[in-house]
Amino acid sequence: MKEFVLLFQSKDQKGIVALISDFIFKNGGNILSADQHSTDPQNGQFFMRVEFTVEDSVDADKLDADFTAVEQHFDAEAVVYLKNRRARMGICVSRPDHCLADILYLWRSGELKVDIPFVVSNCEEHRRLVEQHGLPFHFIPATKEERHEERLLSLVKDSDFLVLARYMLVLSNEFLMQYGKDIINIHHGFLPSFKGPDPHRQALEQGVKVIGSTAHFVNDRLDEGPIITQAVEQVSHRDDLAGLIRKGKNLEKRALSEALSKYLDCRVVKDGNKTIVF
């Protein structure tokens, strides 16, 4: 059996679920799970994710092509993924390496089902960790003054999406447009509070009693892209800056690994500046 995931979105209208499930049934498929979301019963947008199996003999390309009729009928956007495909995930990282180490462990242990074509960093010290995992490491000496975005771009093109696993340089809008694919960032603060640098210091100065971490898609506004996951933890007056940073690192690992896991399962759909995480 082959397993597929269908992601579908269109204006909300009657009969979508019926037609899609009928299409799958008629192609000999079996629905394993289905989720939908309607932003508003009147005039809203409709989102659907379906996992289904079909016999191995079914031609995936033909299936995809046949589905075009359904898609056009509802004026929808839809994508069908082979469930066991392995996406190519590029990693960018600056000095803090806790998220990098966590991702590499999850990759090696088979928990993150993904290929990693490269790790790129402006911090040469990470070479050893990356190469010990048998992965290509690229050092690009990017700084705020000289970002080397062209070198970066020519490297990262060879990926299906990027993870900024604590990459401290802001990517230019031009870079974002030329790359043109998803970029997932981990921000070490509880957005929309504490944008920009040094969110733990901001949290300390505000005297908050809960800190957080946010995994989100990158868009052209700093730390304002659609949020995928957020992890939070209680803190108290006993937590100094070092304590907040230590707790924060755990939150970053949790928020980012959960976001990647959902994303790789085709469970994350952008809806304007928000996300649906099925």
Beta bridge partners of residue 36, listed in sequence order: 48
Q: Name the E strands within the chain.
A: 2-11, 30-38, 45-54, 77-82, 89-93, 119-121, 137-139, 161-164, 183-187, 210-217, 227-234, 268-271, 274-277
What is the Rg, in whole angstroms, of the alpha carbon atoms belonging to the chain?
A: 21
Q: Minimum CB separation from a copy of itself for residue 130, in Å?
A: 12
Interaction with a copy of itself in 91-150: which residues (CB under 8 A)? 97-98, 101-102, 105, 109, 111, 132
Catalytic residue among 158, 223, 265, 271: 223
Distance separating alpha carbons of residues 44 and 143, to the nearest angstrom: 44
Site for a copy of itself contains 210 (CB under 8 A): yes
Helix, strand, or coil here: 107?
helix
Task: Tell me the residue type at 57.
Answer: S
In the set 45, 53, 94, 219, which binds a copy of itself (CB under 8 A)?
Answer: 53
Is position 238 an interface residue for a copy of itself (rule: CB under 8 A)?
A: yes
d(CA 256, CA 262) in angstroms, rounded, equals 10
Among 11, 15, 60, 136, binds a copy of itself (CB under 8 A): 15
* Contact residue for a copy of itself among 58, 78, 140, 232 (CB under 8 A): 232
Residues that bind a copy of itself (CB under 8 A): 14-19, 21-22, 24-25, 28-38, 41, 53, 97-98, 101-102, 105, 109, 111, 132, 190-194, 206-210, 212, 226-230, 232, 236-238, 246, 249-250, 254, 257, 271, 273-277
